Structures are given as structure tokens and as C-alpha cells.
Amino acid sequence: MPSCLAGAIDCDIHPAVPGIAALLPYLEEHWREQVVTRGVDDLASISYPANAPLTCRPDWRPERGKPGSDLDRVRREALDGFGSSLAIANCLYGVQLLFSEDLAAAFARAVNDWMAREWLDREPRLRASIVVPIQNTEMAVEEIERCAPDRRFVQVLLLVMGDRPLGKRQYWPIYAAAERHGLPIGIHAGSAYHNPPTPVGWPSYYTEDYVAQAQAFQTQLTSLVCEGVFTRFPALKVVLLESGFTWLPAHLWRLTKFWRGLRIEVPWVDRAPSDIVRENVRLTLQPVDAPPDRDTLLRILDHMQSDELLLFSTDYPHWQFDGDAALPEGLPESLVRRILIDNPRATYARLTEDAA
């Protein structure tokens, strides 16, 4: 265990549903029967192809079963391995891909209950995000209301690519509920694949799909800012998960420039987008899309103009780095402390509560 990381709060790890059968005990009878009778396949998204190198670090890949599906391994590799005091479980089961709102709501309930019973009850260092049926706003709000009393749920989880841009007013009841309960909105890489993953259609290669996540995060930030989400919900925190962060400065330069020229169209955006983002938006550390040299990374961090933006993450079990090199080398000590502990605690109000 690297001592420099001791006590870190890991804001993005991925415990996995081992298979659809594991959720059967958590599905209501009607849906359990549907799954069995109709032979519903495992909801495994192509966002992380099972055997792709990025999906699991070689030394974390189990001989059988899905990476991240075994609690003992997660304890050993993700928690003990880095000395993390807490880790936030973002379950990437493909609930958001479903076309049926009812089925999505049923699976969201099952995943959240499974998470509470099989993971949170058994490992006190774990916290989790609430999976919601984003296909239907009312149902998503219901699920937030149902889970929020369990203080171990610390965030609402969305995917970066769904049916419509996330700033759209149809989603605002979700943000109202999240703000009311002190839950940040976590937006994770991944798509419902209801739209092509790029603005110019479907690519040929998985490499393009993964790179395209960063462009999707950029457009979602644009949408959240321009629609006025942070004007209406000033206390809301949005956390971009597995988004990369080195694209942020250039994106804010462009968005802020266009806001100066086009604010007549969005008069409710009453501050520069760069200021809004620095106040309301956070990003997890991994992947660090930067060259290995220390100087370039320090320049990028300077361009971000805030040391409050980054939250520590390992992205376990995804293969973003080797060994225990979860933190890029050469970061100033004061920034390291913020990334590892202070920024996560400031972002997730519920992490500072006694969960017992």
C-alpha cells in the first residue's frame, strides 16, 4: 500500500453485477418472471467489452467471472490496495440502455437493493450511487426518494450519453430531488446507445467510442450551463466520472467566449460559464489524459485555475495505470491532500456523516 495515498477517498470504483441471476432475488415477482420466461440477457453494455484491455487491469482480472464482481477482491485490490478510507461504488449495469421505462425502473430498484445488501451491508468503507431509470423522470425521482434515506447512498448516477442533453428541463425534477437530499449528480462515461456516440454517427472502433466520451462530457457541460441548471439549482454539485479532465480548460475558454457573444439567447446564464463550472462541477482524477512529463501536467492544472476541481479515483478495475501509480507524479503536496481527501469531502456532504 502506498503510504502517500493513505486515507484517500476513492470517488469512482466499479463493483459489478456478476450476472442477471444475481438480481433475481431483488426483482419483484412480475419482473423476475419476465426475466426468466423471456430469457432476458445480462445487461452488459458494450461501453466496456468484457475482454477489452481497458475494461480490467491484467493483475485485477479474475480467472472467471466479471471483474469487480467479488467483494473480497474489491476489498483487497481497491480498498486495502490503496489504503482508501472510503470508496464510492458506481455500478455500470446497463439499466440506462433499456427502452422500456417500467423495466428500467424495476432493474434500478433491484440494482440499488442488491448494492445495499450485498456490498454496503458487508463493507463499511463502501458508499454507492443511486442508479435511476433516466428513461422516465418521474420514476427516476421516485427511486431517488426511495433510496435517499439510506445515507450510504451519496450520489445519483447518470450516463453521459442518453436520449437527450442533460440540461433539458425534463430532467430538472431529478436535480431538484438531488439538491434536496444533498446528493451530487454523478455523470459517468458510457452511453445508452439510443443516439450514435459521436455527432457524426457510429464509429468503427471501440477506441473511437472511448475517446468520444470526452466530447460527450463537453457537450453535456455546455447543456447544463446553457439551460440554466446551476442558476435554478445553485447548491447542486455535478461530478464528471471517468471523464478525463485535461480537455476542461480549452472547453471553458470556448464556451465562455461564445457566452459573451451569445448571452442574449440564454439570459438566465448570469455568470461566465467558467465561473459556474468551477463552483458547481467536479471531475474524478482517472483517466489522466496527459503526457507523462510533470511540467505539462502542472501547466494544465494551472489552466484549470482551481485546486478544488479534482476528486481522487482509481476507476477500479478499469486499466488506467499500473501498480499503485493512481496519482500522477510530481503534484504539489497541498494539491494531493485536496484531491485525495478535502475535495471529495467538500463535494459529497454525506461522506462526512457517521454512516453507522
Residue number with CB closer to other proteins (30 or 164): 164
Dist CA 98 CA 193 (whole Å) = 10
Residue number with CB closer to other proteins (113 or 258): 258
Residue 169: name the closest of 130, 241, 226, 218 by CA: 226
Residue number with CB closer to other proteins (121 or 208): 208
Name the minimum Å distance from CB 278 to other proteins.
12
Residue number with CB closer to other proteins (138 or 265): 265
Residue number with CB closer to other proteins (80 or 265): 265
**Separation of CA 227 from chain center:** 21
* Plot region of 126 (φ>0 → left; ψ -120 to 50 → alpha; else → beta): beta
Name the minimum Å distance from CB 272 to other proteins.
9
Name the minimum Å distance from CB 215 to other proteins.
4
Name the minimum Å distance from CB 353 to other proteins.
33
CA distance to 111, 123, 137, 350, per residue, from 153 (Å): 12, 14, 19, 8
Name the minimum Å distance from CB 331 to other proteins.
17
Query: What is the dihedral angle through the alpha carbons of 217, 222, 228, 232, rounded to the nearest 10 degrees?
Result: 30
Residue number with CB closer to other proteins (37 or 204): 204
Residue type, 174: I
CA distance to 154, 215, 272, 287, per residue, from 246 (Å): 26, 12, 20, 10
Name the minimum Å distance from CB 57 to other proteins.
10
Dist CA 23 CA 117 (whole Å) = 11
Dist CA 325 CA 335 (whole Å) = 16
What are the phi and psi torsion angles at 129 (to 5°)?
Answer: -100, 150
Name the minimum Å distance from CB 4 to other proteins.
23
Name the minimum Å distance from CB 343 to other proteins.
21
Centre a 10 Å sphere on the Cβ of residue 53 and count the other Cβ atoms it contains.
11
What is the DSSP code (8-state) at residue 307? S
Residue number with CB closer to other proteins (73 or 251): 251
CA distance to 43, 202, 218, 264, 316, per residue, from 250 (Å): 36, 25, 10, 23, 28
Name the minimum Å distance from CB 47 to other proteins.
12
Residue number with CB closer to other proteins (109 or 282): 282
Quickly list DSSP for 102-148: HHHHHHHHHHHHHHIIIIITT-TTEEEEEE--TTSHHHHHHHHHHHT
Those residues whose C-beta lies under 8 Å from the C-beta of residue 205, and which sit 6 or more positions away, are none
* Helix, strand, or coil (residue 93): coil
Residue number with CB closer to other proteins (15 or 190): 190
